[in-house]
Amino acid sequence: MGQSAGLRHVLDRAAEGGRISPEEALDLYRSAPLHALGRAADAVRRRRYAGTEHIATYIIERNINYTNACVTACKFCAFYAAPKSDGVWTRDLDDILRRCAETVALGGTQIMFQGGHHPDYGVEYYERHFAAIKKEFPQLVIHSLGASEVEHMARISGVTAEEAIRRIHAAGLDSFAGAGAELLPARPRKAIAPLKESGERWLEIMESAHRLGVESTSTMLMGTGETNAERIEHLRMIRDVQDRTGGFRAFIPYTYQPENNHLKGRTQATLFEYLRIIAIARIFLDNVAHIQGSWLTTGKEVGQLSLHYGADDLGSVMLEENVVSSAGAKHRSNRLELLHLIRAAGRVPAQRATTYEHLVVHEDPAQDPVDDRVVSHLSSTAIEGGTAHPELKVVAAN
């Protein structure tokens, strides 16, 4: 049997719901025709969501970056500042609560609380802030942080990772955002984030969280010099943990942005590589429910295309985002544009919750929400004109 016939056989098996091996995934990623790969991934998506396969989801959220002080100094990051440097800043609690109030006023349902590994911020810092957010805004879901922050805060406070997870969950953390995964295999991880925990340790902490009842998403940073085989190995490592815990709600690949960081754009993933990884993820991660397309790093057209390559979610109207924007991701959007992108891809848009339930299904375009304040990067230090609506009255924090 020739290679093309063999690839066809694997694609057909995957499209019908069969599990494929890492070796088969690598062959498909390297060699399967792009459209055939997309068709198979879309077949997997349609089977998984039979009955709602016509829907693609989005969420309204805000990334609140509480500090840029960081001791980890990852080479791909343009956001962090050395803790004692001139450019370092930290938001106070009143400022954070004001941003939460604005999120609620704009119909946002989720907060992603993310920042640097501050040398002084242990578990107590996160307990205090999560409890304050939940007290003022119980309707907001705190979907934040990741295993790297857990490892860091536990070390600062002198407790185990499990104890840190229990405490911040009790204080108000609802789920982990999968931050810090970057590349899980050892060689590329050491090359771009030498001071972070190992990929195996990252997964250990996520597995502990899942067993403690705290679900998460999983992510992958593409284009920092990793090989095709290392990309597939990253997926394998996630799938193996998911077989044991079932705690990863979604997989979200995104592409390295080359500005203002130490890698200086020496390598990047192409848009075709990105679409191929979306498709392979949908085929290979048969135990992960959702695949999210990223318009923020790849652009809106490619984000839209991802819906034809296995993605069922187009991410968020991100009211604030500073991290990848600092590295050159300058794409902006708003809710009406996101609804249009989903419809133009032949799908019905639906606003979702963090746990992917449909909050509003936008069946009729005539009934679309028209609040033009719901724009991405409403407030951003990284994008010029990021304070898009200075007239917006922010609810005063108590």
CA distances from 299 to 171, 227, 282 (A): 36, 23, 20
Structure confidence at residue 238 (pLDDT):
98
Model pLDDT, residue 372: 63
Fold observed for domain 54-367: TIM Barrel (3.20.20)
- Which of 46, 381, 76, 61 has its CA nearest to residue 255? 76
**294 pLDDT above the threshold of 50:** yes
pLDDT of residue 314: 93
pLDDT digit string, tens, across residues 102-152: 889 888 999 998 887 888 899 999 999 999 999 999 999 999 999 999 999
Banded model confidence at residue 320, pLDDT cuts 50, 70, 90: low
Residue 382 has pLDDT above 60, yes or no: no
Q: Which of 88-92, 202-206, 290-294, 327-331 has the lowest mean pLDDT?
A: 327-331
| pLDDT tens digit sequence for 345-372 | 999 999 999 999 999 999 999 888 876 6
SS3 of residue 81 by DSSP: strand
At 262 the three-state DSSP class reads: coil
Q: What is the pLDDT of residue 247?
A: 98
Mean local confidence (pLDDT), 275-289: 98
Q: Which pLDDT belongs to residue 213?
A: 98
CA distance between the termini of the chain: 70
Separation between Cα atoms, residue 16 and residue 284, nearest integer Å: 12
Task: Give me the mean pLDDT over the 186-204 stretch.
Answer: 93
Q: What percent of the chain has pLDDT over 90?
A: 61
Reported confidence tier of residue 258, pLDDT bands at 50, 70, 90: low
Residue 256 has pLDDT above 80, yes or no: no
Nearest 5°: the CA angle 139, 143, 149 is 140
C-alpha distance from residue 236 to each of 40, 170, 181, 272, 351 (Å)? 19, 31, 13, 21, 30
Output the average pLDDT for the chain. 86
**Does residue 262 surpass a pLDDT of 60?**
no
pLDDT value of position 69: 77
Q: Which two tokens stand for residue 208?
A: 């502990």
Spatial separation of the C-alpha atoms in residues 177 and 58, rounded to whole Å: 16
Whether the per-residue pLDDT at 204 is higher than 70: the answer is yes
Mean pLDDT throughout 86-106?
88
Per-residue pLDDT at 307: 96
pLDDT of 301: 87
CA 68-71-76 angle, to 5 degrees, is 70
The stretch 69-90 carries a mean pLDDT of 72
Q: Which residue has the higher pLDDT, 66 or 374?
A: 66
pLDDT at residue number 215: 98
Q: What is the pLDDT of residue 170?
A: 98
* Contact assessment for residue 281 and residue 251, using Cβ atoms and an 8 Å cutoff: yes
Q: Is the pLDDT of residue 38 over 50?
A: yes
- Specify the higher pLDDT residue, 65 or 375: 65
